[in-house]
């Protein structure tokens, strides 16, 4: 018998027992669909997080003071001279109250220096960002985050309106489109000069934002900034340091590590379903061998070899597993697409995931189909024909 004929016989046998074949494939279907769905969702979510982090800038470093007087303007000037630093800006932060036409909200007050927009690249939904020229630094103007604007009852059409921040009048010149961004909250941004006249003490700053010339320079710049601050502030132990250094690249690496570990863990759990499905295939194939003992005896009597019997039963097991894997793949793709739509992230499927799902399905069919196939091939023709 040719391989094509054996394949046709295996297909006909599976089709002849459609219900039993469907139940046999159920474990493989569940396992593959689970693996594909979870990996796809994990990759899509990870890609979305990476894209968001990329928007924040992988070549950015922030130094945050843990005390009111931990960082000063002089530190900004000195850090800007470090090799590999492209530009530097600073923030002075506090909490306060904002009000507009009877609406009040507790907000974060952020006074930013010129150059902040180039580093942080905030997305302005309406209006414009804070002025950069020196003459306008004392202007009492603010830019609101989308959440702060919503809390105060301000819309994109209310530009030019006057709000009060800690009892002082400020004009709204812009609203950020940050509803889906990281760190979004009730933020009120103003010039650093205005902030210092309102709540901040000169020359202290809360945060220093640093942009390296490229991603490759981040590590060396971070190390140099830390060394400078330790020496200039006289810190020896980490516990004594009054600052925290953070870079986006480290966060991105941490996110990739966590999501990768979770994907591996979830895939391992889902792989158990594939193994259970394989055991189910082996069990049904063993039952099938017993049911078809006389058929095997007849085929052996008319000239079928042990290899042909083994191949047919092995092909049946592989076809069952592959068909279950294909159905599971379709269900997994549909499930991951639906979850992507609900979750709001991009639908993402790696071709390697498809190959892995189908390849592992075939592997399960081979591993768990060998024993039943060998059992069928070893049957003696005379004993098989006598079997009742």
DSSP for 291-331 reads HTHHHHHHHHHTT--HHHHHHHHHHHHHHHHHHHHHHHHHH
pLDDT for position 249: 67
C-alpha span between 237 and 240 (Å, rounded): 5
Same domain membership, residue 312 and residue 171: no
C-alpha span between 103 and 149 (Å, rounded): 10
Instruction: Determine if the peptide bond prior to 353 is cis (ω within 30°).
Output: no
Same domain membership, residue 219 and residue 137: yes
362 is a domain residue: yes
pLDDT for position 217: 86
Query: What domain count does the chain have?
Result: 2
Backbone angles phi, psi at 204, to 5 degrees: -85, 145
61 is a domain residue: no
Output the six-digit token pair for 388: 């009742």
Same domain membership, residue 81 and residue 39: no
Per-residue pLDDT of the chain (388 residues; tens, 9 = 90+): 566 666 676 677 667 677 777 777 777 888 788 778 877 777 776 666 666 655 556 688 899 998 888 899 999 999 999 999 999 999 999 999 999 998 999 999 999 999 899 888 888 888 999 998 888 899 999 999 988 998 999 877 789 999 999 999 999 999 988 754 444 678 999 999 999 999 988 899 999 999 998 878 888 999 999 999 988 888 877 667 788 888 776 666 776 777 777 777 776 776 777 777 777 777 777 777 776 677 767 776 777 777 777 777 788 888 888 888 888 888 888 888 888 787 666 777 777 777 877 787 788 777 777 777 777 777 666 565 555 5
pTM: 0.60
Same domain membership, residue 182 and residue 326: no
Same domain membership, residue 143 and residue 94: yes
Domain around 200: 67-241
Same domain membership, residue 287 and residue 175: no
C-alpha span between 49 and 42 (Å, rounded): 10
Alpha carbon distances (Å) from 218 to 44, 197, 329, 344: 27, 34, 41, 31
Output the six-digit token pair for 241: 């340091």
- Per DSSP, helices labelled H in 125-178 are 146-151
pLDDT for position 180: 45
Output the six-digit token pair for 51: 């894209």
246 is a domain residue: no
């Amino acid at each position: 018998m040719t391989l094509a004929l054996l394949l046709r016989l295996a297909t006909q046998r599976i089709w002849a027992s459609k219900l039993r074949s469907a139940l046999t494939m159920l474990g493989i279907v569940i396992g593959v669909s689970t693996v594909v769905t979870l990996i796809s969702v994990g990759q899509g979510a990870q890609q979305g997080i990476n894209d968001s982090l990329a928007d924040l800038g992988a070549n950015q470093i922030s130094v945050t003071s843990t005390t009111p007087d931990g960082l000063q303007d002089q530190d900004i000037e000195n850090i800007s001279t470090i090799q590999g630093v492209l530009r530097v800006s600073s923030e002075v932060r506090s909490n306060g109250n904002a009000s507009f036409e009877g609406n009040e909200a507790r907000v974060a007050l952020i006074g930013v220096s010129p150059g902040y927009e180039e580093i942080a690249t905030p997305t302005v939904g309406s209006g414009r960002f804070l002025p950069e020229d020196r003459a306008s630094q004392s202007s009492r103007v603010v830019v609101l985050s989308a959440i702060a604007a919503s809390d105060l009852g301000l819309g994109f059409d209310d530009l030019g309106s006057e709000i009060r921040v800690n009892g002082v009048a400020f004009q709204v010149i812009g609203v950020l489109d940050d509803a889906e961004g990281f760190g979004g909250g009730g933020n009120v941004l103003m010039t650093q000069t205005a902030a210092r006249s309102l709540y901040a003490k000169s020359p202290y700053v809360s945060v220093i934002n640093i942009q390296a010339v490229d991603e490759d320079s981040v590590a060396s710049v971070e190390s140099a900034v830390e060394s400078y601050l330790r020496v200039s502030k006289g810190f020896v132990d980490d516990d004594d340091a009054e600052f925290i250094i953070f870079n986006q690249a480290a966060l991105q690496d941490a996110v990739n590590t966590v999501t990768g570990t979770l994907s591996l863990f979830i895939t391992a759990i889902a792989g158990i379903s594939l193994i259970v499905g394989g055991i189910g295939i082996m069990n049904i194939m063993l039952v099938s061998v017993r049911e078809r003992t006389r058929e095997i005896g007849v085929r052996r009597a008319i000239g079928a070899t042990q290899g042909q019997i083994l191949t047919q039963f092995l092909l049946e097991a592989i076809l069952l597993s592959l068909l279950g894997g294909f159905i599971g793949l379709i269900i997994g793709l549909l499930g991951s697409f639906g979850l992507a739509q609900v979750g709001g992230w991009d639908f993402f499927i790696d071709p390697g995931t498809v190959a892995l799902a189908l390849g592992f399905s075939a592997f399960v069919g081979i591993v768990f189909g060998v024993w039943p196939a060998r059992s069928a091939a070893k049957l003696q023709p005379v004993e098989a024909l006598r079997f009742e």
